[in-house]
Structure 1
């Protein structure tokens, strides 16, 4: 018995015939520009469904020759070890595929050399854009890419050479700290703070802005902060655990509140309480600048900051699709404050 199926790859003309539309309509749906053409959601869904059923895949080499664009877009991420970066990568891939683009995502472990190596490898694949997420030196990547006519956009940490889309770290930290102070159960005015800030790197933008918000919330409450209560010890869990251990040993007791600067650092704080006794965690008001649903298990004294990944990725592609918005400014997206019930 012979297989009656054709080995010929389906084209957009075949899809147009099957969906009773034009090749240009099919092309607009598959490259993600259908909304600008006022094509209905129903028709776009129908065309994508038929394309999947027919096993359609775009000829990237032909596209590149025709348009001088490869349809490939890259993203550099520093880590996969928390929900925030994982959600950024996942949403980025989804938004890219919705627009008919092929996404490449690589993890560079906050290593400047790996970031440069990743950017150069992506350039070899003729990517159209590179998204630098949490990059240690985004301006260097922008310089390398700009020399080859490829644009970059920064996410999470800002640069000065390319547009940047980040969380409003200052405002969210201000609100989170005010929430912690408000739940302590005693007035803060005219006294030293009993809330300790743990985690992050003092020299990076996000941590410095969060510390600024932490300090301003105390100033608004009329409280002062002793130097040992601000501890940007790095993000790694073991560093947060070690720093908190040193803090407790120095002051001789637990603080009333803890501002933890990421869920990675939160892992170290939880490890400390596992050693000391988890019941002691009930004595502490906890706030974390990051979000994980499992934090609900830490009790009602917990508030978390959930960075607005969908809004950040929507803004990213809005900037990519509108050349007039590709300045070197910074767009800040306000996170959500999640109070555990």
Structure 2
């Protein structure tokens, strides 16, 4: 399908210039206008009528659905989305599903009634339910932090496999071999990808599999606390624990404290997400940081581009790299003497 970008490339102008020519929103030099129209004719480009309708009706409202508005990670994604909406002249309608499929469906329905121009859906989600809900929508949708099978919906997420590898490599480089891992819920793409990357790095390092403990959590502080309490009560307790989000890492640190252990002298801890408050944990949290701002900004940009007809057809599945932020919660094995 021919897009506005194709027209711009052939005419040798910017996409915004093509948009101004087709929509009459700004005066353009006659020779430039002629070049654009010749490119339109040559490529057989047909403007996106839905986008024109949106502009005529003055729809500058986007929707954002998150699983839990109280989770700092989702709150920071929402802030990044809101900041980008403001920069691009859009308002934002936000809803939290509370981890309940029916509430998520109702939120999407309400946004449709409010005539949002597009919806950004973040996080945990319910693959079968979301596929059913989203397949009937006639507005652009972008998934953040996950992708739903073969559903033809744009997505943007971090490299969870690479992030899992990064956490394992950091602890291995510090000399740790007895390592615990607290996962998120199984069945969720990010959890399974992080675990896959973590275990791949462990296996490539030829660490005895019996030295590695894996316990499933639910991304909440309490589940991190419970998992760590179980691991730390064993005679062969781990010397390091990787928690697959920063909230569970906070729970792990609480369990270490209650077990009379010092972080990082007795136990190194690594989280995942890179939430801002991790700097203020005691000790400050070593974490695999997701590119939160880039994901939020990229989701808004893709929605707006689809609304305005600047992209059509091709589905975006963008994966952005994570980064390791080393702070006070991780240290070389034996640093406590």
User: Which bracket does the TM-score occupy, shorter chain normalised?
Assistant: 0.7 to 0.9
Alpha carbons of 1:311 and 1:295: their partners in 2 closer, same or farther (altered >3 Å)? closer
Do structure 1's residue 207 and structure 2's residue 191 form an aligned pair?
yes
Q: Which residue number in structure 2 is paired with residue 168 of structure 1? A: 159
Do structure 1's residue 95 and structure 2's residue 84 form an aligned pair?
yes
How far did residue 132 of structure 1 move?
Answer: 0.8
Alpha carbons of 1:295 and 1:148: their partners in 2 closer, same or farther (altered >3 Å)? closer
Q: Which residue number in structure 1 is paired with residue 204 of structure 2? A: 220
Structure 1 residue ranges (4+ consecutive) displaced by more than 6 angstroms after TM superposition: 63-66
Counterpart Cα distance in 1 of 2:318 and 2:288: 18
How far did residue 330 of structure 1 move?
Answer: 2.1
How far did residue 105 of structure 1 move?
Answer: 1.0
Q: Which residue number in structure 2 is paired with residue 122 of structure 1? A: 111
Q: Which residue number in structure 1 is paired with residue 288 of structure 2? A: 305
- Tell me the TM-score normalised to structure 1 length: 0.72
Q: Which residue number in structure 1 is paired with residue 16 of structure 2? A: none
Counterpart Cα distance in 2 of 1:282 and 1:333: 33
Q: Which residue number in structure 1 is paired with residue 228 of structure 2? A: 244
Q: Secondary structure at the match of 1:201?
A: coil
1:122-180 CA distance string (max 9 Å, x none)? 11111111111014235644543553412211001211321110110001110121011
Q: Secondary structure at the match of 1:283?
A: coil
How far did residue 224 of structure 1 move?
Answer: 3.1
Alpha carbons of 1:309 and 1:233: their partners in 2 closer, same or farther (altered >3 Å)? closer
Counterpart Cα distance in 2 of 1:130 and 1:265: 29
Q: Which residue number in structure 2 is paired with residue 336 of structure 1? A: 323
Alpha carbons of 1:66 and 1:164: their partners in 2 closer, same or farther (altered >3 Å)? closer
Alpha carbons of 1:112 and 1:310: their partners in 2 closer, same or farther (altered >3 Å)? same
Q: Over aligned residue pairs, what C-alpha RMSD do you find?
A: 3.1
Do structure 1's residue 180 and structure 2's residue 163 form an aligned pair?
no
1:275-325 CA distance string (max 9 Å, x none)? 22253652112211122455455448x521111122212322332215536
Counterpart Cα distance in 1 of 2:115 and 2:189: 31
Counterpart Cα distance in 1 of 2:161 and 2:55: 46
| Paired residues of 1:287 and 1:304 also in contact (CA < 8 A) | yes
Q: Which residue number in structure 2 is paired with residue 50 of structure 1? A: none
Q: Which residue number in structure 2 is paired with residue 111 of structure 1? A: 100
Alpha carbons of 1:65 and 1:339: their partners in 2 closer, same or farther (altered >3 Å)? closer
- Tell me the TM-score normalised to structure 2 length: 0.73
Q: Which residue number in structure 2 is paired with residue 282 of structure 1? A: 265
How far did residue 339 of structure 1 move?
Answer: 0.9
How far did residue 83 of structure 1 move?
Answer: 3.1
Counterpart Cα distance in 2 of 1:182 and 1:308: 24
| Paired residues of 2:183 and 2:195 also in contact (CA < 8 A) | no
Alpha carbons of 1:81 and 1:277: their partners in 2 closer, same or farther (altered >3 Å)? farther
| Paired residues of 1:235 and 1:262 also in contact (CA < 8 A) | yes
Counterpart Cα distance in 2 of 1:279 and 1:95: 41
Q: Which moved more, 1:227-236 or 1:85-94?
A: 227-236
Alpha carbons of 1:152 and 1:66: their partners in 2 closer, same or farther (altered >3 Å)? closer
Alpha carbons of 1:340 and 1:73: their partners in 2 closer, same or farther (altered >3 Å)? same
- Report 1:142-161 matches (<5 A): 143-159=132-148, 160-161=150-151
Q: Which residue number in structure 1 is paired with residue 14 of structure 2? A: none
1:91-140 CA distance string (max 9 Å, x none)? 11111122121111111122111111100111111111111101423564
